[in-house]
C-alpha cells in the first residue's frame, strides 16, 4: 500500500442490507407514535447521538477544555506551528493537483494496453476493502483511518480556538462501516476573521495529517532501537506463520519460530534479504554443487532416445546434469539421479567447473539440478535444523511463509507484537497521507474548497475587487478540481475491478 492511497468506500451487499435493516428497525420503529418519537429523539439528543440509515453520529463538548488548553500552551510556538501549516497547505493544494494529473495520465496509459495490470506503479491508488485490501487487514485499516481523522480534526479545533473561533463540539461518526471524526465550528465567528486566519484553520487538518505521517515513518525507522531491549534484529528472518499444505509446510519444512539465515549461498539477515534473495534466485542460473566424479552414476538413454533420469514419483532423489569430463566429441552433457539431501549436505556450491577444481583434491564436477522452465532447487538454511529443500517456483515459497525481522530475547514475548506495530504504522502513513492529499485538492465539500476560497480572498482582493468575480473564479477552479478527483476515483475503481 502507497503513502498516498485514495480511500474509497466499498459496500459489501451483506453489510449494506444488514445496516439498512438495523437502521430501519432501531430508527423507524420508535417513531410509530408521536409520544414514542418525541421521547426517542430526546433520548438521542441528550446523549449527543444522531441515527439515520447507514449513518451514526455522536457529538460532545467534553473535549472543549482540552482543545482550549492546547490552544494556550505556547502562543508563539503555536503561531509558528500553524503558519507552517498554512504554507504546507498551499503547497499541498498545488502538489495534489499535479499528483492527480500524473496519476490520471498513468491510469489512461494502462487503460490503453491490452492488459489493465500492465504499466508502472500508480502514484495514487484506489483502495477497496475486500478487493485489493485483504479482509485480514481491516482492523488496521479502520483503526488507522479513525486515528488519522481524529488528528485531522484536532488540528482544526486547536487552530480555530487560537484564532478566537468558538468550537461547538467534537464528534465521531460511522458511515456504513467507515469511521470518521469532525469538529463543529461557530460559523459566525469564522466569517468575522480575516482570510489569512481562516486559511490557518482550514490548512491545520492536512498539516496535522502530514505531521502524523512523518511521525509514523520515524517510528517505523526507530522501531528496532525502541524494541532493542526485548527484541533483536539482524540475525535472520523469524518465521511467524506457515501456510498449511504449502511448499514450506511439512515435517522437514519450516515451523513457526524458525530463523532463516540463508537461501542457497545468499545470506538472509532479515525479511528484505529473504525477498531479494528469492528474486535473485528466480532470475539467475541454478546453483551447482561440487561432486566427486567417482560418485556419479550416469543415466543411460533408452533405445527410443528418451531418458528416465529419476522416477517421477521419487521424493528423495533428483536429476542432476553435468558436463562429462572427457568425451569423444568434446564435452557432452550427462545426467545422474542422486539422493538430493545426502548429496547437498556439506557440499560446496559452484557456478562453473573451475570452482570445484580450485577447492578439491579429488577429481570433481559441478552438477546442477535438471529442472524445467522457472523451477528452482533451493536450500533453505534455518539452524539448528537441517536444510529445508525446496523444488518449485520461488514466489510460491515467498507466499507460503510470513516472516519478521524481530527475534524475541525472552520466550514469553509474543512474535506478532512487532508485526502489529509495523503494520499499524504503515497504515497510518498510508491513510494519514491519503487524507492530507485528498483534502488538499480544491474540490467541493473537502478542506480544499475552503482553503482555495480563503486563499483567493487573501491574494486577489486588490487585483479582482469585485467579490462576485472572485467567487466565480473560485467556482470554476473548484469545478475543475472536483472533475479531476472524480476522474481519478472512477478510473481507479475501473482498474481495481479489471484486475
Tens-digit pLDDT profile for residues 139-169:
999 999 999 999 999 999 999 999 999 999 9
- Report d(CA 382, CA 237) in Å as an integer: 9
| Cα–Cα distances in angstroms (integers) from residue 377 to residues 327, 356, 388, 393, in the given order | 28, 19, 11, 9
User: What pLDDT was estimated at residue 337?
Assistant: 85
Q: 109-113, 218-222, 258-262, 285-289: lowest mean pLDDT where? A: 109-113
Confidence of residue 302 (pLDDT cuts 50, 70, 90): low
User: What pLDDT was estimated at residue 119?
Assistant: 47
CATH class of 234-285+379-405: mainly beta
| H or E element at residue 491 | helix 467-498
Which residues are identified as catalytic? 153
* CB 31, CB 40: distance < 8 Å: yes
What average pLDDT does this structure show over 31-35? Answer: 61
Confidence of residue 492 (pLDDT cuts 50, 70, 90): confident
Confidence of residue 22 (pLDDT cuts 50, 70, 90): very low
Q: What is the pTM of this model?
A: 0.82
pLDDT by residue (tens digit) across 398-453?
999 999 999 999 989 999 999 999 999 999 999 999 999 999 999 999 999 999 99
User: What pLDDT was estimated at residue 13?
Assistant: 38
Does position 386 have pLDDT exceeding 80, yes or no? yes
Domain ranges in the chain are 6-223+422-441, 234-285+379-405, 287-370
What average pLDDT does this structure show over 27-56? Answer: 75
Does position 24 have pLDDT exceeding 50, yes or no? no
Q: What is the DSSP string of 177-214?
A: TEEEEEEEE-HHHHHHS-HHHHHHHHHHHHHHHHHHHH
32 or 190: which leads in pLDDT: 190
User: What pLDDT was estimated at residue 313?
Assistant: 59
Does position 214 have pLDDT exceeding 60, yes or no? yes
User: What pLDDT was estimated at residue 21?
Assistant: 42
Does position 251 have pLDDT exceeding 50, yes or no? yes
pLDDT by residue (tens digit) across 477-489?
999 999 999 999 9
Q: What is the mean pLDDT of the chain?
A: 86
Does position 463 have pLDDT exceeding 70, yes or no? yes
pLDDT by residue (tens digit) across 358-373?
666 678 888 888 888 7
Q: What does the angle CA 205 – CA 211 – CA 213 come to, to the nearest 5 degrees?
A: 105
Amino acid at each position: 500500500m502507497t503513502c498516498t492511497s485514495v480511500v474509497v468506500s466499498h459496500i459489501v451487499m451483506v453489510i449494506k442490507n444488514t445496516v439498512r435493516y438495523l437502521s430501519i428497525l432501531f430508527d423507524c420503529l420508535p417513531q410509530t407514535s408521536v409520544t414514542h418519537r418525541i421521547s426517542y429523539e430526546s433520548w438521542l439528543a441528550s446523549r449527543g447521538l444522531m441515527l439515520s440509515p447507514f449513518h451514526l453520529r455522536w457529538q460532545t463538548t467534553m473535549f472543549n477544555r482540552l482543545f482550549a488548553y492546547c490552544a494556550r500552551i505556547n502562543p508563539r510556538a503555536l503561531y509558528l506551528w500553524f503558519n507552517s501549516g498554512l504554507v504546507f497547505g498551499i503547497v499541498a493544494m498545488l502538489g495534489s493537483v499535479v499528483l492527480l494529473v500524473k496519476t490520471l495520465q498513468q491510469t489512461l496509459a494502462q487503460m490503453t494496453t491490452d492488459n489493465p495490470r500492465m504499466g508502472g506503479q500508480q502514484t495514487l491508488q484506489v483502495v477497496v476493502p475486500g478487493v485489493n485490501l485483504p479482509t485480514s487487514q481491516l482492523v488496521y485499516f479502520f483503526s488507522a483511518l479513525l486515528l488519522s481523522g481524529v488528528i485531522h480534526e484536532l488540528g482544526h479545533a486547536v487552530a480555530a480556538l487560537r484564532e478566537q473561533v468558538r468550537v461547538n463540539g467534537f464528534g465521531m461518526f460511522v458511515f456504513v462501516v467507515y469511521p470518521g471524526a469532525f469538529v463543529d465550528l461557530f460559523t459566525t465567528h469564522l466569517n468575522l476573521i480575516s482570510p489569512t486566519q481562516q486559511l490557518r484553520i482550514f490548512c491545520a487538518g492536512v498539516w496535522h495529517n502530514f505531521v502524523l505521517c512523518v511521525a509514523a515513518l520515524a517510528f517505523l525507522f526507530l522501531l528496532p532501537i525502541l524494541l532493542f531491549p526485548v527484541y533483536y534484529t539482524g540475525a535472520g528472518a523469524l518465521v511467524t506463520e506457515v501456510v498449511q499444505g504449502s511448499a514450506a509446510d511439512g515435517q522437514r519444512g519450516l515451523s513457526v519460530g524458525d530463523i532463516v539465515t540463508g537461501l542457497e549461498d545468499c545470506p538472509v539477515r532479515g525479511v528484505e534479504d529473504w525477498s531479494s534473495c528469492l528474486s535473485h534466485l528466480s532470475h539467475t542460473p541454478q546453483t551447482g554443487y561440487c561432486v566427486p566424479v567417482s560418485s556419479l552414476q550416469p543415466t543411460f538413454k533408452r533405445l527410443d532416445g528418451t531418458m528416465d533420469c529419476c522416477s517421477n514419483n521419487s521424493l528423495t532423489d533428483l536429476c542432476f546434469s553435468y558436463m562429462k569430463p572427457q568425451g569423444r566429441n568434446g564435452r557432452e552433457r550427462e545426467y545422474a539421479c542422486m539422493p538430493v539431501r545426502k548429496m547437498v549436505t556439506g557440499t560446496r556450491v559452484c557456478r562453473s567447473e573451475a570452482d570445484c577444481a580450485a577447492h578439491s583434491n579429488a577429481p570433481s564436477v559441478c552438477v546442477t539440478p535438471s529442472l524445467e522452465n522457472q523451477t528452482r532447487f533451493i536450500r533453505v538454511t534455518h539452524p539448528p535444523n537441517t536444510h529445508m529443500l525446496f523444488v518449485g517456483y520461488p514466489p510460491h515459497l515467498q507466499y507460503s511463509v510470513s516472516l519478521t525481522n524481530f527475534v524475541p530475547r525472552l520466550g514469553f514475548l509474543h512474535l506478532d507484537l512487532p508485526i502489529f506495530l509495523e503494520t499499524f504504522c504503515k497504515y497510518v502513513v498510508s491513510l494519514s497521507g491519503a487524507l492530507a492529499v485528498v483534502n488538499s485538492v480544491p474540490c467541493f465539500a473537502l478542506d480544499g474548497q475552503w482553503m482555495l476560497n480563503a486563499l483567493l480572498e487573501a491574494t486577489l482582493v486588490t487585483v479582482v475587487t469585485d467579490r462576485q468575480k472572485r467567487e466565480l473564479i473560485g467556482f470554476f477552479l473548484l469545478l475543475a478540481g472536483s472533475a479531476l478527483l472524480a476522474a481519478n476515483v472512477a478510473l481507479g475503481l475501473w482498474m481495481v475491478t479489471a484486475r
